[in-house]
Amino acid sequence: MIHTENLTKRFKDILAVDGLSLDVAEGEVFGFLGPNGAGKTTTVRMLACLIGPTGGAATVNGFVVGKQDTDIRRNVGVLTETPGMYDNLSAEYNLRIFAELYEVKDVTGQVEKYLKMLGLWERRFDTAGTFSKGMKQKLAIARALLHEPRILFLDEPTAGLDPEAARLVRDFIAELKKEGRTIFLCTHNLDEADRLCDRIGVFKTHMLVVDTPANLRRTMFGRKVVFHLREAGEGSAGVLRTMPFVREVKVVENKLLVTVDDPETHNPEIIRALVNSGAEVQFVGELRHSLEDVYLQLVKNV
Amino acid sequence: MNKIKTIIRKEWAEVFKNRMVIFTVAFLPLLLTALPLGIIFATRDASSRTGEALDSQLPSEMTQSMCPEGVNSAECFQIFMVSQFMMMFMIVPVAIPVTIAAYSIVGEKTTRSLEPLLATPITTIELLVGKCLAAVIPAVLATYAAFGLFALGSWLLVANKMLLSALLDARWLIAIFIVGPLLALMSVAFALMVSSRVSDPRVAEQVSMVIIVPVLVGLFGQMAGLFVLNKQVISSVAVVMLALDALLVYLATRVFQRESILTRWK
Ligand SMILES: Nc1ncnc2c1ncn2[C@@H]1O[C@H](COP(=O)(O)OP(=O)(O)OP(=O)(O)O)[C@@H](O)[C@H]1O
Ligand SMILES: [Mg+2]
């Protein structure tokens, strides 16, 4: 659905996006992560045909960026980073304008559908300027969906929302995902990316890594298993170190932190070895790295 | 076509909530109508006594080119005075669009609604035409309304049929119905151009106001007696305006590029 090759954007003396090559499949939720100023918004703007690339090429839904911009605009929905409303017009009229501009057939029906879906129906005649930040954000999401785009660009949809509103928006994105829409999600919320995204790209001017959240954790840190023993010491650690599939063993208090590639297959063997060596195993658990650890590790190294 | 209509309706819904805009659109034409009517009223029963005195004061070429045969000098003075206001009438189609156009684009930027708007499949031309018409239509209507009031007022105040037809002659019709809309278009094209080039929206509005200067220069030039607005002059002005408009509209479409207005305005 989205394909880029060496996509590049240079503002006078700033290289904002440097040779991005990426493929996002139909129905995929792609998380686009990166520190402030990484070039995420710039990338979205290029893909939504708001600004032109200075190098490389991209297609969105089969249409070529820079050549078939109107077709692309017709087929994608964009939630911009700072989505402004016409503040002295009503919420409903705000949406009507955009429904008309997006050539929606049933303007009234679509406007009603999304106002209701996002819980703004009761307030539809209030001017957008009187809305809270969260309500404005919901209105902006509604605005991006009126024409039922199959591809959605969401630039930090939950930024600045309270936990409840953020949750609502997140659940809503999950709904959209179920409907099979392709979603390109820029976010700083790693937990959100972890939960919603099929794949994640960590980006800082160029792409650092692209993978599923689970793979990212695994490749960055391996998988760690914690064995709680009644008494842990170098003795039991030594036993495990002789095993070929054990990558690393650390002793912390009464715990052994063991790095293995495939805990499902190897844990039983490890437990057997520990028991045979006389250790008393109290608990076994997986030590999960948060995506945050992965992210910070990646971004630090640039 | 429909998108242009959407833009126009949206602009009006927004812009006419602004007091400053209402003031310019409503008050300016009323003021500029009241003034010439006041003059006609004040000089309505000028007798031949004052007429003779005035005769010597008015440049003869002026009276010749302006006043038809058989109009006495007092009436000719009325015609002359009222003609002086023609240039002032021309402020209406220039000033109104500047206020609307500058506000309509500036507002778009300050509320950060421009980016979502540009993300829709509207073409640049549709957007430009929509914004343009949203400013030109009220300006032209206000000019027509002002002229209508002026015509009605003179008809009520002046009994002399010949004088009336001299007051509301071809010059006025050309000025109001041809030069007026052309001036409005010039003003809008200029405001659009400035707003898409300048980085600060407030500066954009102020710079756009510069377009009134040529009209004011014309006004003072005429008052100082540097030229007489006869039919030939007005017609040439119309032709020049037409060329100027074509140029300005062309330039505006060149300058108004999505990317530059999006990335320049911070
Ligand atoms: N209009 C512009 N003119 C000049 N430089 C720009 C412009 N827009 C963005 N940049 C630069 O491009 C780089 C990338 O900016 P961008 O907004 O894409 O980052 P981002 O990843 O979205 O950051 P954030 O997480 O803060 O939203 C920055 O260095 C920024 O200064
Ligand atoms: Mg950004």
| Token pair recorded at residue A17 | 């996006």
How many domains is chain B partitioned into structurally? 1
B3 and A100 within 8 Å at the Cβ level: the answer is yes
**Domain membership of residue B82 as a residue range:** 2-264
| Token pair recorded at residue B66 | 């302006």
The CATH number for A10's domain is: 3.40.50.300
The CATH number for A253's domain is: 3.30.70.100
Average of per-residue pLDDT values in chain B? 79
The answer on A153 and A95 residing in a single domain is yes
pLDDT band at B86; cut points 50, 70, 90: confident
Amino acid B19: pLDDT = 79
Is B259 in CB contact (< 8 Å) with chain A? Answer: yes
pLDDT band at B55; cut points 50, 70, 90: low
Of A157, A185, A211, the residue at which a domain comes to its end is: A211
Mean pLDDT across B27-38 = 84
The answer on A113 and A69 residing in a single domain is yes
Amino acid A239: pLDDT = 87
Chunked mean pLDDT (size 10), chain A, 302 residues: 94 91 95 92 95 94 93 95 90 96 95 94 94 92 95 93 89 93 93 90 87 77 84 85 88 88 87 90 83 76 68
Distance of CA B40 from the midpoint of ligand 2 (Å)? 64
Amino acid B9: pLDDT = 94
Q: What are the tens digits of pLDDT across the range B211-254?
A: 888 888 887 887 777 777 777 888 888 899 899 989 988 888 88
The answer on A153 and A133 residing in a single domain is yes
The answer on A196 and A254 residing in a single domain is no
Of A156, A191, A211, the residue at which a domain comes to its end is: A211
How many domains is chain A partitioned into structurally? 2
Q: What are the tens digits of pLDDT across the range B160-183?
A: 777 677 667 777 888 888 888 999
d(CA B153, CA B134): 29
Helix (H, G, I), strand (E, B) or coil at B256: coil
Q: Check whether B49 has a pLDDT greater than 50.
A: no
Q: Check whether B82 has a pLDDT greater than 60.
A: yes
The answer on A69 and A142 residing in a single domain is yes
The answer on A207 and A58 residing in a single domain is yes
Mean pLDDT across B201-207 = 75
Amino acid B51: pLDDT = 47
- What ipTM was assigned to the predicted interfaces of this complex? 0.81
In the beta sheet, which residues pair with residue A63? A60
Is A107 in CB contact (< 8 Å) with chain B? Answer: no
The answer on A63 and A88 residing in a single domain is yes
Amino acid A140: pLDDT = 95
The answer on A67 and A44 residing in a single domain is yes
Of A156, A182, A211, the residue at which a domain comes to its end is: A211
Q: Check whether B2 has a pLDDT greater than 80.
A: yes
Pocket probe mutation, ligand 1, options A20, A42, A79, max atoms within 8 Å of Cβ: A42
Type of residue numbered A133: K
Alpha-carbon distance values, B163 to A149, B106, B127, B167 (Å): 66, 46, 46, 6
Is B70 in CB contact (< 8 Å) with chain A? Answer: no
Q: Which residues sit with Cβ closer than 5 angstroms to ligand 2, an ion?
A: A 40-41, 81
A284-288, Cβ contacts within 8 angstroms, sequence gap of 24 or more: A284/A225, A284/A226, A284/A227, A284/A228, A285/A225, A285/A226, A285/A228, A286/A223, A286/A224, A286/A225, A286/A226, A287/A224, A287/A225, A287/A226, A287/A257, A288/A217
Pocket probe mutation, ligand 1, options A17, A40, A51, A188, max atoms within 8 Å of Cβ: A40
Cβ pair A236, A229 in contact under 8 A:
yes
Amino acid B56: pLDDT = 53
Residue A295 domain-assigned?
no
The answer on A190 and A238 residing in a single domain is no
Is A82 in CB contact (< 8 Å) with chain B? Answer: yes
**Domain membership of residue A226 as a residue range:** 222-289
The answer on A236 and A203 residing in a single domain is no
Q: What is the DSSP letter of B67?
A: S
In the beta sheet, which residues pair with residue A153? A78, A184
| Token pair recorded at residue B98 | 């500047």
Distance of CA A40 from the midpoint of ligand 2 (Å)? 5
The answer on A126 and A91 residing in a single domain is yes
The answer on A176 and A279 residing in a single domain is no
Cβ pair A191, A31 in contact under 8 A:
no
